[in-house]
Structure 1
Amino acid sequence: MGAVEDARFRGIDLGVWAEFEAATWTSYPLLFRMLDDAAVASVLWDRFLSSSQRAVIAEGLDAGMEQARSLTALLAGLRELGKLVPGFQQRERAAWERLGEDLVVGAGRILPVPVEVDRSSMHVAFGVLGGFGFAVGGNSSPAVRGAQVVGGMGGRFLQVDVGGGAAARRVAATAGGPAWRELRARYAALVRHLTGAVTVPEGFSVQAAVLITGVGTLAGRLSGQRGHWLQAAHMPAFGAAEHFAGARARAVEVVEDAGLERIDLEPVPFSTAHPQVKGPNNLQASLTAQLPGLVGEHGVGITVIADGTGSGKSISALEAGRICNRGCGAAGVAWLMPTTATADAAWETLEAYVRAHRPEQASVTLVHSR
């Protein structure tokens, strides 16, 4: 059977779980969770990443923009694949008893050591990506780097030991027998089919890897919220294709609810953006007149402004940020202050600046500590 047949209702075993609520014995299929992660990653690509970030990923994968989007969703969808091993599935006895007989019989000897999902996902993803045609070589090869991205979505990058933990013989000894290996391959192939990631990248840059990891990390945290998956778990059983169609609609909602849509502020005159001052002072006038040309010629960089209190450094910084954002295709502002009091004051300034542009919606969030 192929991915098209597997995507249909009852086309593939959905007994393997990713989330389990013991109070109600509610089990959420691993395949559905993987598709949820991929769907959220796609929406984050469309609505959260800036144009420059998308371009960095596409260039780093040597792929067109649409395939770069699909590959990002595919890798995010593989984040949970490390749960399709006997050691993890046996964590919940009630869920284990729902597994097919071929998986139970083919589990082999289950080690008493708890499964580290991030490392497990990295190891099994390495073999899966190699099976897709991703080149296997040194640390910078697409299969190795792609596996490292999948493992890194848990919060830290791990070393892919090609001849050790990630080797096929080692994975076979710790991740279940042929039935487990085949189901992992079919799950991964389904995610690839539904995301449309048909391109096999010849390269995989560090910059692309870091950005894709960030997308996958965020996608996993959003789709892993109890309310998100529990709602889907109580819906009627669907095939993978039908579930993915619904997952994409729910992904839009969860990204919107998190306030993560990227907002581009329309250009407005200086006096409109900063109504609290009569007009630009000498420093601000110099920045708005000269910085755009410097950015256009040399690219964006760091602007250091040193002056006394009340000299207009905050407004100057906002103008510099606006110019640099436009110069590199980015959007948004992160304002980092050393104390709670200065952060409160900066929030009021920034909130007024955003409101002056009259956007339909834009969140300005204040965060204290961390």
Structure 2
Amino acid sequence: MRLDPRLWGKERGLDRPYPVGCHSIDTAVVLEVLWERYLSARQRRMLAEGWGLSEEQARLLHVWLGFLHDLAKISPVFQQQEPGADEVSGTAGYPVTVERTPYHDHGVHLVLPELLHRIHGLPLDGRPARLIAEQLGQILGGHHGRYGESLSHRDGSLTCPIVAAPGLGGEGWDEQREALVRLAGELFGVPVWPTRRAQAPVAAVTTGLVSLADWLVSQVWWLKARQRQHRKSRWVAGDWAGHLLMARQAAVRVPARAQLLAPTWRATRSFAGMFPGLSDPYPLQASIEREFPGLVNGPGMLLATAAPGDGKTEIALFAERVLGQASGTSGLAMLLPTMATTDAMHRRLVRHAGHNCRGKAPVARLHSLAWLDADYTPEDLTPSLDSPALVSEWLRGAHRGLLTGIAIGTWDQAVRAVLPHKYMAMRWLGL
């Protein structure tokens, strides 16, 4: 059974529907690029260890999850929601349904475990909260911001998802979902499956990475560019290998366009080198400069208590670079108590990044009224040669600010990463 190219995955803002198979490939190849160019070495190692895999095995697992995140769009409840895009409902093998649920995010949570069991032998016996297949389904179900409750043997949702949710569709719908899973193996290879469930922090980063790849390739400019490539190359619908080649060529430029590349800091270990005009550090600064680097051999925390005017901001930025280098991270987040202090410090941090970073590093400002500052959200978003790089409109969207390399905001922007808050996984990934 081959994947039907008439099944659509995207249509908003487009002249014609975009196949779900193409969207699946797009998400997978951008996730490949994010793995190599967005994640730090420390994050890749954390994900691999968290899933009990090698880094290469973990990379392929995440590529698969990106590919399958919209698996439940292959269902009558989704395909029928846009009659102008639906070319299959009611045709041979695709019965229509009056069921209006589940949404495709909960739908992939329902169908993925049973398909992984059927096709790749992942076990479904035992407590659901201990099953790898169930956790992978729950992670993909969270790609729209909220995780669903664990599936159950009692109501059949774990082993008979079509019975539990008729809106998913049987007959040809189920065959096509299986075809998408098998296509992932044909195009990318079959992953080594984890032997243990990931802990919550690792699962959240995995969710955030899948969601980020999905967001990037759901932009109208990306979809229209791929459709232009189809016309130019006379792409034949269903030539998934041909689309994979085109998408891979385009994907390498996506992180830079989205301003997701980490800042590159100039090497310095002195206050005078980091802060122009600070040729004579205060005593506390001089002590930190002299003693602190020799005490650091990995992640840690420095607590500096001093009177106002003793240069604690410079101490924080100096210590951050020492700790960041020792920890294998290059990003910077500064979190403050109020919007007013954040606005004032944003200007200082922009100057700091301009002096200490190679190239122009955008500095995201994170609080609910940041858009009111015309300097931060100008009508003309074209960076000039004389100004720091502006933060793109896409990166200023909801839940995205912490994804950039340098961010400053109110403290609650980080707190939401550890609360049951919508898209908390995106904030956790950014942090």
Instruction: State whether TM-score is above 0.5.
Output: yes
Are the equivalent residues in 2 in contact too, given 1:81–1:121 (CA < 8 A)?
A: yes
The aligned amino acid for 2:242 is E
Change (3 A) 1:312 1:194: farther
State the number of aligned residues: 355
TM-score (norm 2): 0.75
Are 1:127 and 2:114 matched, yes or no? yes
Structure with more helix by fraction: 1
Find the counterpart in structure 1 of residue 29 from structure 2. Answer: 39
Find the counterpart in structure 2 of residue 214 from structure 1. Answer: 208
The one-character-per-residue Cα deviations of 1:269-328 (angstroms, maximum 9, x if unpaired) are 4222111312443333333444445442xx423333222222111111112211221222
Find the counterpart in structure 2 of residue 81 from structure 1. Answer: 71
- How far 1:363 sits from its partner (Å)? 2.1
Find the counterpart in structure 2 of residue 187 from structure 1. Answer: 180
Q: Distance in 2 between matches of 1:222 and 1:23?
A: 16
Q: Distance in 2 between matches of 1:280 and 1:78?
A: 55
Are 1:254 and 2:265 matched, yes or no? no
Q: Distance in 1 between matches of 2:10 and 2:361?
A: 33
Find the counterpart in structure 2 of residue 363 from structure 1. Answer: 362
Find the counterpart in structure 1 of residue 7 from structure 2. Answer: 16
Q: Distance in 1 between matches of 2:288 and 2:114?
A: 52
The one-character-per-residue Cα deviations of 1:74-126 (angstroms, maximum 9, x if unpaired) are 11222111111111111122322346833424x5x431x34322101111122
Change (3 A) 1:97 1:190: closer
Structure 2 regions of 5+ residues with no counterpart?
A: 369-412, 414-431
Q: Distance in 2 between matches of 1:23 and 1:148?
A: 30
Are the equivalent residues in 1 in contact too, given 2:102–2:168 (CA < 8 A)?
A: no
Structure 1 regions of 5+ residues with no counterpart?
A: 7-11
TM-score (norm 1): 0.87
Are the equivalent residues in 2 in contact too, given 1:38–1:195 (CA < 8 A)?
A: no
Are the equivalent residues in 2 in contact too, given 1:36–1:244 (CA < 8 A)?
A: yes
Q: Distance in 1 between matches of 2:160 and 2:301?
A: 49
Find the counterpart in structure 1 of residue 312 from structure 2. Answer: 313
The aligned amino acid for 1:199 is V
The aligned amino acid for 1:224 is S
- How far 1:350 sits from its partner (Å)? 1.9
Are 1:265 and 2:265 matched, yes or no? yes
Q: Distance in 1 between matches of 2:162 and 2:302?
A: 50
The aligned amino acid for 2:75 is V
Are the equivalent residues in 1 in contact too, given 2:263–2:331 (CA < 8 A)?
A: yes
The aligned amino acid for 1:258 is A
Find the counterpart in structure 2 of residue 245 from structure 1. Answer: 245
Change (3 A) 1:211 1:345: same
Determine helix, strand or coil for the equivalent of 2:288: helix
- How far 1:201 sits from its partner (Å)? 1.4
Are the equivalent residues in 1 in contact too, given 2:77–2:101 (CA < 8 A)?
A: yes
The aligned amino acid for 1:133 is G
- How far 1:71 sits from its partner (Å)? 1.0
Are the equivalent residues in 1 in contact too, given 2:10–2:18 (CA < 8 A)?
A: yes
Are the equivalent residues in 2 in contact too, given 1:126–1:166 (CA < 8 A)?
A: no
Q: Distance in 2 between matches of 1:230 and 1:103?
A: 30
Q: Distance in 2 between matches of 1:100 and 1:187?
A: 21
* Percentage of pairs with the same residue: 30
Query: Quick check: 338-347 or 180-189, which moved more?
Result: 338-347
Change (3 A) 1:336 1:96: same
Are the equivalent residues in 2 in contact too, given 1:300–1:324 (CA < 8 A)?
A: yes
CA RMSD of aligned residues (A): 2.4
The one-character-per-residue Cα deviations of 1:211-232 (angstroms, maximum 9, x if unpaired) are 1111111111111112221332
Determine helix, strand or coil for the equivalent of 2:9: strand
The aligned amino acid for 1:77 is F
Q: Distance in 2 between matches of 1:123 and 1:80?
A: 12
Are the equivalent residues in 2 in contact too, given 1:15–1:99 (CA < 8 A)?
A: no
Find the counterpart in structure 1 of residue 278 from structure 2. Answer: 277
Find the counterpart in structure 1 of residue 397 from structure 2. Answer: none
1:50-69, aligned counterparts within 5 Å? 50-69=40-59
